[in-house]
């Protein structure tokens, strides 16, 4: 049981680190965007949607793991 809890905790931390890294990369891409305001705003919105989706999926997995 303790081994399973450690694995779940490790997975949660890994997910958090991965999401944080993707978020930082997205912010760098947005800062470097020179395609015009509309296109850059579209890219920013796309990144935010992807980030929210990733966070939701990860949290759902964590909740499922807690229930198991």
- For 22-60, the pLDDT digits (tens) are 999 999 999 999 999 999 999 999 999 999 999 999 999
Q: In the chain, where does DSSP find H-type helix?
A: 2-31, 37-67
Number of domains in the chain: 1
> Has residue 53 been placed in a domain?
yes
> Has residue 33 been placed in a domain?
yes
End-to-end CA distance of the chain: 11
The domain in which residue 36 lies consists of: 2-63
> Has residue 28 been placed in a domain?
yes
pLDDT score at 41: 97
Number of residues assigned to the chain:
68
- Computed from CA positions of residues 63, 59, 65, 2, in that sequence, does the dihedral angle turn out positive or negative? negative
Residues 6+ positions from 11 with CB-CB distance below 8 Å: 61, 62, 65
Residues 33, 37: Cα–Cα separation, whole Å? 9
> Has residue 68 been placed in a domain?
no
pTM of the model: 0.81
> Has residue 15 been placed in a domain?
yes
């Amino acid at each position: 049981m303790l081994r399973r809890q450690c694995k779940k905790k490790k997975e949660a931390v890994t997910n958090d680190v991965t999401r944080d890294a993707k978020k930082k990369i997205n912010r760098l891409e947005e800062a470097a965007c020179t395609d015009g305001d509309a296109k850059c705003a579209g890219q920013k919105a796309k990144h935010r949607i992807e980030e929210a989706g990733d966070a939701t999926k990860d949290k759902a997995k964590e909740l499922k793991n807690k229930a198991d």
